[in-house]
Each structure stands twice: as C-alpha cells, then as structure tokens.
Amino acid sequence: MSHHIVEVSDLRYTYPDGTRALKGISFRITHGEAVAVVGANGAGKSTLLQHLNGYVSPQHGTVRIGDYPLTKDTLQEVRRTVGMVFQDPDDQLFMPTVREDVAFGPLNLGLPVEEVEARVAAALERVGASSLRDRAPYHLSGGEKRAVAIATVLAMSPDVLVMDEPSSNLDPAARRRLINLLQSFQHTKIIATHDLEMVADLCRRTIVFQKGKIAADGPTEEIFRDKALLEACGLEQIHRMQPCPVCGNLPTMSQSAVVGDGD
C-alpha cells in the first residue's frame, strides 16, 4: 500500500512577490488516514495542497507520493494517484455537459470508451448526480457543481483524495451529503478547511498551520480541546468541544457526536 503514502520533508515555498508561504513543512500520512489541514487565511494550506498534486513544484525540500518523489518525470504518475478537488468547482468544470467533464480524465488516460462510460456512471451515482449527466455545468447549483467536481476526481480512481475547502458555499443538506460521501471513501483523505465541525466528523488527525509552519500535528480530539492553540492560530473551538455551561465538564468527540446526531 505504499502508493497511498504522502510524505513531505522540509518543504519551503516563496511566491514571486516575496511572500513566504511554506517555511519548512514536514509530515507523513499513511494509507487510509483522514487528515485535516486547518489554519487561518494565508497560513499556507492551499499552497501545500497545490504541491501534493504537482500544480506547484517544490523550491526546497521534497514531496513523495508513494514510491515517487514529485518531479517533472513523475508528475503524470503522481496525478493518477492523487485526486485534487479545488475550492471553486468552476476551476474543474469546463466541458459542455456533466458527462463530458467526468469523462475527460479517464479519456486522457487512454482508457477504452466502454470503461470510461462505466466510470462516469459509477462516479455520478456515487455522488448522487446521475440525473445531472446531460446538464450543462454552468446551469447547476453550487452543491451540484461540488458533487460533479468530486465525480470528475473519483472517475480517475485515485488512491489519495485531496480537497480544498470542500464544504464552502454549501447549504446544510448538501454539506451533510458531502460528509456522508467522504466517510464512504476508504483511501487516504487530506482536507484543508475552515469547517472544524466537519473535521470532527471526518478526520482523526489534524495538522494546524500558522504563518507557513506547522503549529501542531496530532489527534483531532486533543487539538480541538486546546483552546489557546486554536485561538493563537486564528481558529475557534467548535461548540461540541466546549465545556458544559452547567457542570463544566468537557465532552469527548464520541459523546458530542451522539448528541449531535439526536439534534
């Protein structure tokens, strides 16, 4: 299962305007982990994600996806392994119909037409968007666009799913469908988000970014209990992890999840 491993070592990146976005980032994510990357705006989350799929090349340090260090020579293999869902679905949807958008990636892999059609049907069904197959993407709602954008990635059968702010601009029903979908994806997930409630539902591990550095990396429950850490990194403690106003006791993640399910 080494092809599912993501390893970053001393990654540094400075934009042309002199902004130092990443200042020596290192971590290792193994097969099947669901890991959140959180932090304030400008902390470096999106820059990191762009490295994981080769949209940005390391200036210093290394990115390794499975057995492959990220280089120009390995870029195609890395992009087959890592599926990237951008923050804005419009960045991924550019064909006349939904079917053509979802088929675009598999067709470019040179797969037989029959297999491409099977992948399109399976991906759209998985995200609950089969009825959108012949629609024009620009006529879809925000939630529908998000679902189709995810389908375009799932059709590539990635081993690692990377998502940038996947719940942004979604209504509560679409957000819950997204969470249910991500819970069903059994391979490695890396999710950059401000939605800490979603992180609590999906990710056992959280990496906290602060001004281009890793401020913390560990079990989500432990990190979400650390109010001082969160506030120092421009984040707020989620409601389910705050002390009971009556008894002062702190709930566990599992206890709070049970309470939330009953609301």
Cα 233 to Cα 212: distance, rounded to the nearest angstrom: 11
CB 98 within 8 A of CB 134: yes
Q: What domains can you pick out in the chain, each with its CATH number?
A: 2-262 (3.40.50.300)
End-to-end CA distance of the chain: 39
Across the range 37-48, mean pLDDT stands at 94
What band does 162 get if pLDDT is binned at 50, 70 and 90? very high
What confidence score (pLDDT) does residue 251 get?
59
247 falls in which pLDDT band (50, 70, 90)? low
Residue 243: pLDDT band (50, 70, 90) is low
What does the pLDDT read at residue 261?
A: 37
pLDDT > 90 fraction of the chain, expressed in percent and rounded: 66
Give the global pTM.
0.87
Tokens of 228: 């001082």
The reported pLDDT for the residue numbered 2 is 55
Whether residue 93 is predicted with pLDDT greater than 80 in this model: the reply is yes
Over the stretch 109-126, which tens digit does the pLDDT of each residue have? 899 999 999 999 999 998
pLDDT tens by residue, 214-231: 999 999 999 999 999 999
The answer, yes or no, to whether residue 36 has pLDDT greater than 70, is yes
Q: What is the pLDDT of residues 181-212, one digit of tens each?
A: 898 888 899 999 999 999 999 999 999 999 99
DSSP assignments along the chain, one per residue: -GGG-EEEEEEEEE-TTS-EEEEEEEEEE-TT-EEEEE-STTSSHHHHHHHHTTSS--SEEEEEETTEE--TTTHHHHHHHEEEE-SSGGGT--SSSHHHHHHHHHHHTT--HHHHHHHHHHHHHHTT-GGGTTS-GGGS-HHHHHHHHHHHHHTT--SEEEEESTTTT--HHHHHHHHHHHHH--SEEEEE-S-HHHHHHH-SEEEEEETTEEEEEEEHHHHHH-HHHHHHTT----GGGSPPTTT-PPPPHHHHHHHHHH-
